[in-house]
Structure 1
Amino acid sequence: MKILHINTKDTGGAANACMRIHKSLLDKGIGSKVLVLRKTKNIPEVYQYSYWDFPKSRIDTLKRTIKLAIYERHLRNQRARMTVPVEILSYPTTIYDITEHPFYKEADIIQLNWVSGFLDEPSFFKKNTKPVIWRMADLYICGGGNHYEKEFPFNAYQDILNKNYIIRKASLEGKKINLVAISNWTKQKALDCELLKGQPITIIQNGIDTNIFKQYNKKLVREALGLPLEKKIILFGADVLSVPRKGMHLLFESINSLTENKNVLFCAFGNTYIPLKENILPLGPIGDEILLAMIYSAADLFIMPSIEETFGQVILESLACGTPIVSFPTGGALDTIKDNFNGFLAKDFTSKGLTAAIEKALSFSFNRDEIRNDIIRNFNVVDKADLFIDLYTSILNHKS
């Protein structure tokens, strides 16, 4: 059984989820490979697609050179049209033909993950002869280029979205796609999508490597990291402060309302600059997963303030380390967070609702061992790999 995963890059939350599945499949003896457009890490069986690997003649090379120049001009024009701020707006067309790659030709199943800017849908679905799985890392497949719905400026880009939707609809016409929803929330979004009517849907939630993300002694870790022993530490990730969907503006409103509590220290990891405040400690980017697990273990609480998210990886990372979570009621948080057990869900999508949930969590006595055990039982990536293998087997048996 040979599986080829397609992902635009090897970094980011969606890429991390893809790589965790891929590594677990390799551990189980499955012939798994990942093809990415942008490669920055050294991960076994992850390969970079090169546009220049396939010219068969000097004429073909010339054609590709011209095609690339036209495509790059097209990308510049796309960016110029984005006059209203937007998190991401993707197009279903690119110059990359995945079906000409030798890894495609040898694969039994093609698994699409986060493919924005990489997959050319018209050529792929026209030429494809393999069973296809589309793992819904977000809501990209449901529309005309938006990856999420909340806070997206639909009015500003309706013309582009409509054109993209027509292209996508034509590409998918009569094609079977095995959808994998990574949360019940995502499944419902797929069921509500006219474009995906009749496509089979399987729920396989994200999984986590519980051998890497595990519970460390809080006192020892805080001493090693130079964090105060006596304070309540609230952790959050801060990679994109400027994206409204990520809810960082709501979190900072909550932080401001909690400034009178001198016993609370907020710690932030990520690449984004954090405004300097007395009760906020920026930790900077954390590239090492073991160090990240230690930081989770040092915290009393993790906050995920996204107002729309299919399944944030940070949820599983934190819970696997025994650290409870406060989140808004969206995506994977609805499948994982149980009030009075491993965290609290805010009652609404406001800073007041978030603050109330944080205050409840700070006063609640959590059993961190049970929080971790729940993740081991229900969200271990090894078990999720088994579910994918079952799906692959079913698809191939049905094909034969």
Structure 2
Amino acid sequence: MTKKLLQINITANWGSHGKIAEGIGNVVMSHGWESHVAYGRWANPSNSQLYHIGSMMDERIHGVGSRLFDNHGLMSKRATIRFLNYVKQLNPDIIHLHNIHGYYLNYPELFSFLSLANKPVVWTLHDCWSYTGHCAHYMYVQCDRWKTHCELCPQKRSYPASLLLDRSYRNYDMKKQAFLSVPNLTLVPVSKWLEGDLQQSFLKDCRIQQIYNGIDINVFKPQMDTKAITGKYDIPLGKRVLLGVASNWWRKGFEDFLQLRRLLDDKYVIVLVGLDEKRIKSLPTGVIGIRRTENVSDLCGLYSLADVYLNLTLEDNMPTTNLEALACGTPVITYRTGGSPEAIDELTGNVVMQGNLEAVCKLVESVCNRGETVYASACRQRVLDKFCSSKQFEKYYDLYSQLLGIKK
């Protein structure tokens, strides 16, 4: 009988997590399985069969409840019950969770079902929301209350923002009770850093198997001819190009890039991708702003053009942009933030303590003086060896097979 995989995520084939779910679905289908993806909002056409959880109205009501009463993940009850009736009819062999936060699911209802379903559950953790009483990330404020018991949350107004109540103490207890109720749960942190923190949380006794995210090496690859890119985005010829990319620049180091510009001489130009129009208009001379682009060819061209990819993130788990830059042959200089340093080794980049822009300047100078060609082969090989999407997604199929007792 054909095996069925059901993945649950906020998006379907959209954004980094949605594309990861899409890639995993493609791998299991290549092994003869059915692939299904249930999502909350934002979907691109998919090779998997899609199910849309709830509606825009459900999402808005959930958002209001979260902002007023710190009820994130505790709304959308009817939409979740309808979805679980669909799951019963589908009867998947494996249920794989990704981001279940995002104003579209009721996690007590979901985990009550999973605790009784007698099915293997895999949960890929792309952030820290699963074991905190409120936030998805805590490193920026250096909070470690999640290790004992969340309360008096210092990030009440950060995603998922609550403008009135702080129920982080209650939320912590509710998550702990719900998430530990599933007997056959495997957690998959996507970085060694997250794995280490997970082992200090209330989820420490769950089965944990770390798997890195991967990228499509046939899409992200060096582009030899970058003349069209320099013309399209008015990047001056003869300058050393320092690139930064983010889909959302919240706590991704935007202000540090501006400070860095003041420290660098005129032979460098900084190119930042993913900015809104307001920020683009405010940029100083020597910094070029580009709106978020879904044009992967342009993105690969920018990575290939850059002499250095800079990741000055202040809060991150395992940023995919590092891998994309490496795949295009570009060395990476990153802050020592979360799992970001795990993308590189001594042949492919450098790690700097957060805020040490003088050290960043010196490393930029050193890398540029050596020349990108010195790094290109090693950068590309690093991704081929450790972060190729087909290899990483195949690890999920191996995990599913192991959980189901399928001999390969």
2:258 is equivalent to residue 252 of structure 1: yes
Q: TM-score, with normalisation over the residues of structure 2?
A: 0.82
Q: Is contact 2:241–2:268 with CA below 8 Å preserved after alignment? A: yes
- SS for the counterpart of 2:255 is helix
Q: Is contact 1:36–1:46 with CA below 8 Å preserved after alignment? A: no
Q: Is contact 2:239–2:267 with CA below 8 Å preserved after alignment? A: yes
- SS for the counterpart of 1:322 is coil
Partner of 2:66: 78
Q: Is contact 2:352–2:360 with CA below 8 Å preserved after alignment? A: yes
Higher mean alpha-carbon deviation, 231-240 vs 141-150, is at: 231-240
Residues 355 and 22 of structure 1: CA distance in aligned 2, closer, same or farther (over 3 Å): farther
Partner of 2:99: 114
> d(CA) in 2 for partners of 1:17 and 1:41?
13
Partner of 1:59: none
Alignment partner of 2:269 out of 260, 265, 282: 265
Residues 285 and 306 of structure 1: CA distance in aligned 2, closer, same or farther (over 3 Å): same
Q: Is contact 1:221–1:295 with CA below 8 Å preserved after alignment? A: no
Cα offset, 1:100, TM superposition: 1.6
Partner of 1:346: 352
Partner of 1:41: 44
- SS for the counterpart of 1:138 is coil
> d(CA) in 2 for partners of 1:335 and 1:348?
15
Percent identical among aligned pairs is 22
Alignment partner of 2:26 out of 13, 23, 27: 23
Aligned length: 370
Q: Is contact 1:34–1:46 with CA below 8 Å preserved after alignment? A: yes
Alignment partner of 2:288 out of 248, 258, 281: 281
Residues 381 and 77 of structure 1: CA distance in aligned 2, closer, same or farther (over 3 Å): closer
Alignment partner of 1:308 out of 315, 324, 340: 315
AA aligned to 2:271 is C
Alignment partner of 1:319 out of 313, 326, 336: 326
Unaligned runs of 5+ in 1: 53-67, 83-88
Alignment partner of 1:145 out of 113, 134, 137: 134
Partner of 2:85: 100
Cα RMSD of the aligned pairs, angstroms, is: 2.7
Cα offset, 1:232, TM superposition: 0.8
Residues 49 and 303 of structure 1: CA distance in aligned 2, closer, same or farther (over 3 Å): same
Partner of 1:155: 154
Q: Is contact 2:65–2:72 with CA below 8 Å preserved after alignment? A: no
Higher mean alpha-carbon deviation, 273-282 vs 132-141, is at: 273-282
Counterparts in 2 of 1:188-203, with a 5 A limit?
188-193=196-201, 195-203=202-210
AA aligned to 2:91 is E
2:374 is equivalent to residue 370 of structure 1: no
- SS for the counterpart of 2:40 is strand
Q: Is contact 1:219–1:229 with CA below 8 Å preserved after alignment? A: no
> d(CA) in 2 for partners of 1:21 and 1:314?
19
Residues 240 and 389 of structure 1: CA distance in aligned 2, closer, same or farther (over 3 Å): closer
Partner of 1:361: 367
Alignment partner of 1:5 out of 1, 7, 25: 7
> d(CA) in 2 for partners of 1:360 and 1:320?
21
- SS for the counterpart of 1:212 is coil
Cα offset, 1:76, TM superposition: 2.1
- SS for the counterpart of 1:189 is helix
Residues 218 and 104 of structure 1: CA distance in aligned 2, closer, same or farther (over 3 Å): farther
2:308 is equivalent to residue 297 of structure 1: no
Q: Is contact 1:180–1:202 with CA below 8 Å preserved after alignment? A: yes
Unaligned runs of 5+ in 2: 144-152, 157-164
Q: Is contact 2:242–2:269 with CA below 8 Å preserved after alignment? A: yes
> d(CA) in 2 for partners of 1:73 and 1:208?
35
2:402 is equivalent to residue 394 of structure 1: yes
> d(CA) in 1 for partners of 2:289 and 2:49?
32
Alignment partner of 2:176 out of 169, 172, 181: 169
Cα offset, 1:80, TM superposition: 4.2
Cα offset, 1:346, TM superposition: 0.7
Q: Is contact 2:27–2:397 with CA below 8 Å preserved after alignment? A: no
Higher mean alpha-carbon deviation, 184-193 vs 141-150, is at: 141-150
AA aligned to 1:305 is L
Q: Is contact 1:301–1:324 with CA below 8 Å preserved after alignment? A: yes
- SS for the counterpart of 2:297 is helix
Q: Is contact 1:322–1:372 with CA below 8 Å preserved after alignment? A: yes
